[in-house]
A and B are shown apart, each in its own frame.
Chain A
Amino acid sequence: MNGAVTPRWIALWPALMLGLFFLVPFGIMISVSFAQRDAGGFYQPGFELASYARFLAPFFARVLGVSLAVSLGAAAICVLLAFPFTVFLASMSRKVQTRVLVVLLSVLSLSEVIIGFSLSTLLSQTAGIGNLFYWLGLIEAPRAYTPSLFALMTGLCYLGFPFAVLVLYAPVSRLDPEVVEAARTMGASAPRAFMGVVVPMLRGAIVGAFILVFVFTLGSYLLPQLLGRPEHWTLSVHITDQAIYQANLPFAAAMSVFLMLVAMALVGLSSLAARDGGAA
């Protein structure tokens, strides 16, 4: 290219780094998923489908069901709360928007372990809302609300909400405010303009945010352990458990490959949705 300011060889270094440290690990992981388990915690090169055959066991179906159910639930709640939040946020002044974004980014970057610890404190018997309800006279004795499915869902929503807002933020803020004004001038009530104009115009973005939050919470590893009971352990927890504590790398790798295919299919779907839905 004649007009290009940057030389071609500039791509060499990033291609090398990403190829070596991103593609190669994935390649190895895929090959390990077909390898034979080694009692020492490593693997024997080989080709067998034993690890994949374990997907047929009821254990795996249950884990997968739990993972999908909690992540779908969390993604739905996050997007339901985040969509109006983002639309309102985009109508604020730059100063307000910047401050809210600072809070959201800070919460987004919080380590899962800190979110888990904070929420289990909030839901605990001695420091949390159980205590507050007792003090208000709503319940008869202070009680803990964790570990439970409720605590886990709260945690996943806490994790996913800032993410949902930030994914929605760009398309929402690009929406022309005059479109809503036009609908209002033509006599549509505010809720009607919102449901009839804003939501359909941003359908693609909403589906995209839903799927990305779903994939994001699907990867949550610590929250199910900190806030949920063992029956709420998700695929991510089991992958790590198999890799580190059960010393079964091939099975962990096979589950990862499966999870990766699910995530890739969903991300592909979301980009399709974004394309035909149109992000204004």
Chain B
Amino acid sequence: MSQHLKLAYICVILALLAAPLVIVTGVSLNAGQSLRFPPDGVSLRWYLALFREQEWLVPMRNSLIIAACASALAVLIAAPLALYAWERTGWLAKLLTGMGMAPFALPPVISALGFMIFWMTVGGYGQIWATIVSHGVFLVTLPLVTISLGLKAMDRALIEAARTMGADRRTVMRTLILPLLVPYVVSGYAFAFVLSLNEYIIAYMVAGFTVETLPVKIFNALRYGYTPILGVVSVLFAGFAALVFGLIGRFGNLPRLMGAERVRDE
């Protein structure tokens, strides 16, 4: 098949994926209350409203705090785990890696119910830190995958050279491994951050009634009717995700990060 047809197929699918977001962007520009496309007069009033109304600012702040802390926690758990499993093949390494991967192989509602019952039992149900810890543990998979990829890509000869030249373990770690891992740690953090920001079910079941996050707030607002402000939030979410992944793609090697091994550089 010619390259043009292939590209056409890819573009059609991408257009289908973009269609709902295009409509939502149009809807968010409505001057009135109703969701119309094409919009009924163009205005940015709903964008201003979002940043002025307390009922939206509070969930936004909650979501950002949770995402920032939870992804830091995820990285802090994933980094030593990846380092440990990198050089070892024993049962503990396998078990820990399996546990780190498990949250993504299970329907999230299971983890959500597990966390909910756990926090109800030990205390902490309805607290923001319970959501942070839950998200942190749930999202370990992402930094674990990126950091493990970074370690796999590392040239062992470099480390052996450093050891032969008399560097002790600590020096090798500080001057060689950690600096080489920085881009993978950053992208792992970014992945976890974006997913935490968008995560609904765990945030809802652990503390949905007291600590409203943005997705929880959107769902609650949907029950009272659709307004263009929901379009605004959706546009900002999609735009933010595109910005983060765009930056990773710009400064890192995204195909490599997704597991590709042979990519033509052009």
Residues of A at the B interface (CB closer than 8 Å) are: 1, 3-8, 10-11, 13-15, 17-19, 21-26, 28-29, 32, 42, 81, 84-85, 88-107, 109-122, 124, 126-128, 131, 158, 161-162, 166, 169-170, 173-174, 190, 212, 215-216, 218-219, 221-222, 226, 236, 239-240, 243-244, 249, 252-253, 256, 259-260, 263-264, 267
Partner of A18, one of B140, B215, B263: B140
Partner of A173, one of B6, B80, B259, B265: B259
| Least Cβ–Cβ distance between B60 and chain A, in angstroms | 13
Q: With an 8 A cutoff between CB atoms, is B50 at the interface?
A: no
**Which residues does chain A contribute within 8 Å of B107, judged by CB atoms?**
215-216, 218-219, 236, 259-260, 263
**Which residues does chain A contribute within 8 Å of B6, judged by CB atoms?**
88, 91-92
Whether A113 lies near B218 (C-beta < 8 A) is: yes
Give the distance in Å from the alpha carbon of A18 to the alpha carbon of B73 in the complex: 12
| Besides A94-B255, A114-B233, 7 new A-B residue pairs in contact (Cβ under 8 A), listed by A number | A10-B84, A15-B92, A84-B9, A121-B231, A127-B23, A166-B258, A263-B106
Residues of B at the A interface (CB closer than 8 Å) are: 1, 3, 6-7, 9-10, 13-14, 17-21, 23-24, 26-27, 34-37, 76-78, 80-81, 83-84, 86-88, 92-93, 96, 99-100, 102-103, 105-118, 120-121, 133-134, 137, 140, 159, 169, 172-173, 177, 194-195, 197-201, 204-205, 214-215, 218-219, 222, 226, 230-231, 233-234, 237-238, 241-242, 245-246, 248-249, 254-255, 258-266
Q: A95-B266, A126-B35, A127-B37 are in contact. Are A15 and B96 (CB under 8 A)?
A: yes
Closest 3 CB pairs of A and B: A219-B107, A170-B259, A127-B37
| Least Cβ–Cβ distance between A87 and chain B, in angstroms | 8
Give the distance in Å from the alpha carbon of A120 to the alpha carbon of B34 in the complex: 14
| Least Cβ–Cβ distance between B37 and chain A, in angstroms | 4
Give the distance in Å from the alpha carbon of A22 to the alpha carbon of B38 in the complex: 47
Q: A5-B173, A121-B20, A263-B105 are in contact. Are A14 and B234 (CB under 8 A)?
A: no
User: Which B-chain residue is minimally distant from A30 (CB atoms)?
Assistant: B114
Whether B237 lies near A161 (C-beta < 8 A) is: no
User: Which A-chain residue is minimally distant from B194 (CB atoms)?
Assistant: A109
Partner of B115, one of A1, A25, A128: A25
What are 24 A-B interface contacts by the 8 Å CB criterion?
A6-B173, A10-B83, A14-B77, A18-B96, A25-B115, A29-B118, A85-B9, A95-B266, A98-B249, A102-B254, A103-B18, A111-B197, A116-B222, A117-B222, A121-B27, A121-B226, A127-B27, A161-B13, A169-B259, A215-B107, A222-B219, A226-B222, A240-B205, A243-B116
**Which residues does chain A contribute within 8 Å of B137, judged by CB atoms?**
17-18, 21-22
**Which residues does chain A contribute within 8 Å of B134, judged by CB atoms?**
21
Whether B114 lies near A29 (C-beta < 8 A) is: yes
Partner of B35, one of A11, A93, A121: A121
Whether B83 lies near A6 (C-beta < 8 A) is: yes
**Which residues does chain A contribute within 8 Å of B86, judged by CB atoms?**
6
Whether A118 lies near B200 (C-beta < 8 A) is: no
Give the interface SS of chain A, mostly helix, strand, loop or mixed.
Answer: helix
Give the distance in Å from the alpha carbon of A94 to the alpha carbon of B92 in the complex: 38
Whether B88 lies near A1 (C-beta < 8 A) is: yes
Partner of B117, one of A32, A100, A104, A173: A32
Whether B20 lies near A158 (C-beta < 8 A) is: yes
**Which residues does chain B contribute within 8 Å of A102, judged by CB atoms?**
242, 245-246, 248-249, 254
Q: A117-B218, A169-B259, A221-B109 are in contact. Are A106 and B245 (CB under 8 A)?
A: yes
**Which residues does chain A contribute within 8 Å of B114, judged by CB atoms?**
25-26, 28-29, 256
**Which residues does chain B contribute within 8 Å of A111, judged by CB atoms?**
197-200, 214-215, 218, 237
Q: A109-B198, A219-B110 are in contact. Are A28 and B117 (CB under 8 A)?
A: yes
**Which residues does chain A contribute within 8 Å of B140, judged by CB atoms?**
18
Q: A122-B23, A263-B107 are in contact. Are A113 and B219 (CB under 8 A)?
A: yes
